[in-house]
Amino acid sequence: MPDTPEAGTGFRERVLALVTRIPPGRVMTYGQLALLAGQPGAARQAGFVLNSLVGGTELPWHRVINAQGRVSTHKLGFGDMQERLLEAEGISWQGGRCDLNAAQWWPEEERAGPPEPLISMRPPPKGGPRDA
């Protein structure tokens, strides 16, 4: 697989094409990658795609973190390296997390940011709006 994929038809190619676009000093989450690659909820699969890149590519794999603002590569032995790479780009950490509100990047065509959260289908507690 080449290091600079074109936006292709496969999930892997779409994920890699998005990763190539993340600017220095900005991050995306695995879930965000999956959403923008057309498979909402496939954060783990996006992680598997990136796991195959760690250490052997020019793609900025280190700019992808988890939804809590943390790196998820410590178990793979790359967590400290990923944090250092992000720090070199200006990302700061507090309590092992970066501020996603400040650092998270959305492509220009998705400038509106994340979609609104889905409304819970769980009924409200007794005394809630439905009981009025």
Using the predicted structure, report yes or no on whether residue 61 has a pLDDT greater than 80: yes
Per-residue pLDDT band for 5 (boundaries 50, 70, 90) equals very low
Using the predicted structure, report yes or no on whether residue 125 has a pLDDT greater than 80: no
| List of long-range contacts for 68-77, beta carbons under 8 Å, 24+ apart | 68/97, 69/97, 69/98, 69/99, 69/100, 69/103, 70/96, 70/97, 70/98, 72/30, 72/47, 76/51
d(CA 119, CA 63) in angstroms, rounded, equals 30
pTM above 0.85, yes or no: no
Query: Mean per-residue pLDDT for 39-48?
Result: 94
| Model pLDDT for residues 78-116, shown as the tens digit of each residue | 889 999 999 999 999 999 999 999 999 999 876 555 554
Q: Looking at residue 85, what is its pLDDT?
A: 94
d(CA 3, CA 5) in angstroms, rounded, equals 6
Per-residue pLDDT band for 3 (boundaries 50, 70, 90) equals very low
Please, where are the H alpha helices in 2-130? 11-21, 30-36, 43-51, 79-88, 100-103
Per-residue pLDDT band for 16 (boundaries 50, 70, 90) equals very high
Q: Looking at residue 15, what is its pLDDT?
A: 94
Q: Looking at residue 78, what is its pLDDT?
A: 83
Structural domains of the chain, ranges and CATH numbers in brackets: 11-106 (1.10.10.10)
Using the predicted structure, report yes or no on whether residue 32 has a pLDDT greater than 90: yes
CB of 59 within 8 A of CB of 49? no
What is the overall mean pLDDT for the chain? 81
